[in-house]
Amino acid sequence: MYIKSKGNIIISTILTFSIVMLLGSFSFIVMKNNNEMSYLYSNDGDIYSLLEDEEKSLLSFNKQLNKMKKEEIFIENFNIKDDISELQYEVEKDKFYLLTGDNICRELKYMFNESKVFLIPVYKNIDINS
């Protein structure tokens, strides 16, 4: 680079730093995607792979939530227990958690369609013991 005055030094330094920051943020995005994909490959499953007990309890919790009013659900933290598992809602995090008897916790996303609530499992299982 040919530098004429001090103004060019500052401008070229700022441009260099911005390029380095862009490359760093891009590499972070790529690494994050690689970690998520490696998790899926190592567990030999797809995003929505559920155990049979999890699927049954998730369907029953969906039915129970749809019987409740929308305003009643999201007011405070609550737990709904089943024979096999438990559904928890945390207001602060605005998330549902499905706890199974195997000490595994699965985060659930939710969405509304008309007046119904749909619980959608994500692929990350949280081990309660660790």
Q: What is the largest CA-CA distance in the chain?
A: 77
- What pLDDT does 18 receive? 95
In the chain, which residues have pLDDT < 50? 1
- Which domain does 11 fall in, by range? 1-45
- What pLDDT does 6 receive? 63
- What pLDDT does 123 receive? 72
Indicate the pTM of the whole model: 0.58
* Residue among 61, 42, 71, 69 at smallest CA distance from 108: 61
Neighbouring C-alpha atoms within 13 Å toward the C-beta of 122 = 14
Report the alpha-carbon distance of residue 80 to residue 98 in Å, rounded.
10
User: Quick one: 107 and 122 in the same domain?
Assistant: yes
Report the alpha-carbon distance of residue 77 to residue 63 in Å, rounded.
19
User: How many domains in the chain?
Assistant: 2
User: Quick one: 36 and 56 in the same domain?
Assistant: no
User: Quick one: 64 and 10 in the same domain?
Assistant: no
User: Quick one: 62 and 117 in the same domain?
Assistant: yes
- Of the residues 9, 29, 45, which one is the last residue of a structural domain? 45
User: Quick one: 29 and 68 in the same domain?
Assistant: no
User: Quick one: 23 and 79 in the same domain?
Assistant: no
